Amino acid sequence: MKRVYLFCDNGMSTSMMAQRMQEVADKNNLPIECKAFSYKKIQDIIEETPLDCILIGPQTKFLYNEINEKYGDKIPVAVIDAADYGMMDAEKVLKKAIVQMKKFKNN
């Protein structure tokens, strides 16, 4: 099971995106778990659960460098595209996460 976790300010605004991404994964029989959290919990979550991809909400993209410096050597880190986020295009966001994981694995 691959874990794609989304992080934003309070974990609220990305909850809908994570839920929709989970629906896409389930519909396509993809072994992926999508959940959303506040970025303030990222350290605790990573210590408890091995993640396969970290997605950052566009409203907190200013955190990208800090999160990528801390975890980017072990886990792919990406910012969700603002247009995809605004349109709640869960399929597109999930596809981009899968591409990130494949690129990371090949490096």
Active site residues: 8
Pair of tokens at residue 59: 């409203």
Q: Is 92 exposed, middle or buried (0-12, 13-18, 19+ CB in 10 A)?
A: middle
Pair of tokens at residue 53: 């991809």
Q: What are phi and psi of 75, to 5 degrees?
A: -140, 135
